[in-house]
Amino acid sequence: WSPCPTPSSPGRDSRPGMLGMLRQSSWQCRGLAPLLARAQSSAVTSTVKANENSLPLPHEKYTDSTTWEKYQEGIRHGEPNMRTYNYMLMGGARLMGASLSRLILIKFLAQMNPSADVLALANVEVDISNLAVGKSLTVKWRGKPVFVRRRNEDEIAEANNVNLSELRDPQTDADRVRAEPEWLVLLGVCTHLGCVPIPNAGDFGGWFCPCHGSHYDISGRIRKGPAPYNLEVPPYFFTDDGKLIVG
């Protein structure tokens, strides 16, 4: 059915006024066409909305409608002993992890300690019981020479009668000896360029470095030459049985 009348084909026997009827029908069709289009669009929209309401929402595919009470019932055990077991299991795991971390830390720090051969060279023991007064000896400590001199009374007096204002690196003789003043222990390395001075030589009766002409007195203090500092005094001590421990 069409709301617009369809006239018959015009012929010779067409009645008068047919042309006016055709014109009126065309105007009626033009007015009803928009109304028909709107009605069809509304029907299609209603059908689409009905179909959308019948489909599940997207978030229902990924969420669970379980309530909080059901969730608690699922994770809780009916037996109270299981809770104690869980606590003991977690506590034991943490204790084992802490013990393992402590062991790894101790092993890491232990491997940084010096080896046995290095520790053996850390100290050197020297028997000085046979060293005569006024004599010197040289020992090796950590790859460096160490001068040990047993001074007599004149040498001690000479070392104490020095004007400190004349010294490049002022130090008293008492500051450079330990225990008895007759024993002088020095590191045999020149403070200029690391050469080894010669004992019982030089202008001051102590040590002389032939490389660049540094002169040290009987207390190991620099008196002449390019060396900027006195000979270094290493750590040492004496034992009860008359031995010297350097280091």
Q: Determine the distance from the C-alpha atom of residue 179 to the mean position of all C-alpha atoms in its chain, rounded to a whole number.
A: 46
Helix (H, G, I), strand (E, B) or coil at 238: strand
User: Exactly one of 59, 192, 212, 215 is catalytic; which is it?
Assistant: 212
Other CB atoms within 10 A of residue 161 CB: 8
CB burial class (10 A; 0-12, 13-18, 19+) of residue 169? middle
Provide long-range contacts, Cβ within 8 A and 24+ apart, for 48-56.
Answer: none
Sign of CA dihedral 218, 223, 169, 190: negative
Specify whether 212 is catalytic.
yes
DSSP assignment of 140-207, as one string? EETTEEEEEEE--HHHHHHHHT--GGG-SS---SGGG--SSTTEEEEE---TTTS--PEET-STTEEE
Q: If you ran DSSP here, which 8-state letter would residue 59 be given? A: G
Report the C-alpha gap between 187 and 179 in whole angstroms. 18
Q: What is the spatial distance between Cα 182 and Cα 156, in angstroms, rounded to a whole number?
A: 7
What are the residue numbers of the active site?
A: 212
